[in-house]
A and B are shown apart, each in its own frame.
Chain A
Amino acid sequence: MSSRTITGAVAALTIALTASSGFAAEKKLTIGVADALTGGGAVYGLPQANAVKMAADEINAAGGIKVGSDNYKIDVIAYDDKANPTEATNAVRKLIDRDGVKYILGFCCSGSTSAVASFIGNEKAVMLVGNAAERSITTKKIPNLVRTRPPADYTGQAAGTFIARKGHKRIAVLGALDVGFYAQYVDAVEREVKKTGGEIIAREVFSLRDRDMTPQLTKIRGLNPDAILVVGYVEPAAFVYRQAVELGMNIPRYGFTSGSEEQFLRVTTSEQMEGVWDLRPTELTLLSATKNGIAYHANYTKKYNASPSPSSPYAYDQLYVLKAAIEAAGTVDDTVVVAKAIRGLPVPPQVVMQYQPVDGKMFDVNGQAYTSNGAFQWQKGKWVFVEDLPSDSKAYSQFLSTLN
């Protein structure tokens, strides 16, 4: 190589280095997702993982996360936890120990989330929980854990008030009542309907893998209830709605499922769903959506060629919360500072769900966020947002603080 070539190369390198020093350095921030990507919980987990990836793409396209003079582009690693506690622990251990991840998002299902929550307090990591609705996840005051979805009984209380207002006195429940948070939802409903002289006349159970609910429905039909309340995962709930019609049960049907139109229509027809109520957090449906929600729905549908599940924005919002917190904290390395910054955040403008801040902050002292609750009704093939359900996030937050 001639001396002229070497001199030229050194000069070019010097120019390149000098030029780049004028710009922000671009770095990579790896975010982990642990969620149910297969199995029964995948109806919630897979859309959540997709939502995080979509948020990461959007943030990267907009320049990434700005920390001082650095710009962090987000890289997402998603592992399947099958909604199983052992698998979830393994997945999170892999993310933290092997992949060096400090921020873990997702978490659709309560059992697997509770397993990770039991040790995350000892880790230099921040855990953002999505759809998992079990109340105890945010009663343990874990400083590096927050949850975007409100607990099930917060919604159950509002649902009970709504059902009682409709004048129903004898309500039969059919659901996955061996799952803690569904039972908590029903307990809260019962407390409210009792206030107006109503009662729960049956608590029939189905498991998450059951598909034939006609025995339970036949028994319920014999009790002649005013209304039926269905709580459980989308698929078994869809079978209940379908089979109730097939058995000629012409009574109001209420539910707590958070399934999308597409998910229900895989099992049942629109005619069989007509008139069904879903009493749940004001999650994503186009009629209840804000401008962000409408954009989210359109972008998700375009990217994944499928409609987003109503609960998937809980995970999408997690990443915008994390972005805001990291930028406020001015660090990606100090997870304690970032976790603290999350607790102090107002609701970021990019989020999709309609959060009800407590004392001006998105998360309360327990690390819990609250959305409004809504009554949605199936009308001509769509979930239609009918009205807000009365929800007092501050009062519930104070109640949550009293639990261990």
Chain B
Amino acid sequence: MLVKYISLLPECLLALNIIVMMLVHLFRTEQTPKTFMTISKFFIGTALVSCIVFYNLDVKENWYINSPYTAFFKSVILVTALVSNFFAGKWFLNQNRSSFVYYELGSLILVSLCMAISCTHLCILGVALGITFLVGMKLSCIGDNVIEQDTAKKEQLIYGIIFGVFLIGGIAGIYYQTHSWFYDEIYTYYHQQKSSFYDNVAIASLIVCVMFLMGVAPFHLWFIQIARRAALPSASYLNLILPTAGIAILTMLIYLFNAPESIKRIFLICGCLSVVLGAIGTGNRKNLKQIFTCVGLFYDGIIILLFSCFNEKIVQQSTIYYLIYLISILGIYICLYGIRKRGEYLCSIDDISGMAEVKPYVASGLLIFSASFLGIPPLLGMLGNLTLVNGLLVVKQYDLLIFIFIMLTFLAYGLLKLIKSVYFDKRLYGFDRVDKSVYWGLFINACFLLWVVTDPGRIWANVRMFIGTLFTTGI
């Protein structure tokens, strides 16, 4: 019996993490930000290990599935959370603020996302997505000042209503049409008959809901607002984790619903909008967190555009493309954790002017990761672009290809503004000493970035094969 449920260990450990943190918060008198960081590090780490070890053990219940595919995405999310939490801990230590809420909510998001990825029951999916969204909203409030709290509440209410309508509408619609909550029966329904108008509306509603969670345009506003308002740990956490989980869920839904033609249009429109708004937004924003949220929007848009092809190989390649982006954006957030002035983390592009003069390594990090975003060789981003182009050439989507690369030049403009500020502008302020962990984080990330490109033959072939296997055996 226990063996049967052992694959639920990651979720259980994450849930235990929440309970332990709560107990520590209630009963331990001496609490520092480091306390919760250590607890979460332990539990997320063990959850990660259990996720990898029991990657092929399934519960064999029809409401939950554990496959290499789900294990892989859960592992990626957990690794990202681990890195993000580590640097967030430094942030709370420097700010001398309680980290309990952050780690508690962060863990709750992880549990719900793991459930959302592994579940094969619509109700569980709905609950997990709902919890993620609500907790995400709450998490974004860390760092709010009193004046902004009222406005934030109003905005959150509006976003919550929209999200709720899509989520409930989508799930109810699908249940109404298929008369089942379970994925296997829904799969059979959509693969045996042509989907009707109401089917399409229900599917679109659920897919849009996931896109909403990922912050894909035209539902990107809440993400941009979070980036502006939220503290650096919350902004980075949500920016890294939600889109990753969103991609995993979206891929499952595409396979589940047999992706009717009308849904393609939704993907195409949302993808194009995201690419355009992301590329233009990068150049128009002054807030660093918002700039990189826009960069994220651009890349999410590309993934959505690739999904619009509904080709198995392209979907696989989009996963590789996303992972490459994830490595670069992780590097960028590590850089942001290294930019401080008198204990305050700097968020405006004007604040970091002339930073290269005194913080050359952090500045180099920003330069390298920005270059990687643009696919400048010999960085990892170039391999991402190679994957993208090869995929789109195979399915003869030349117009999409040209569109993406034209928009890439707009993105380049935005990133050049950042580089200009860091390297060419006169220095206005002094900067605090950079934490050593930031340097280590940057060093490891940059080495990985260069190492993969120096000898991609073996690594690349293995990654492609691995992702291919995940998709063929997992979903």
Q: Do A and B come from one complex?
A: no
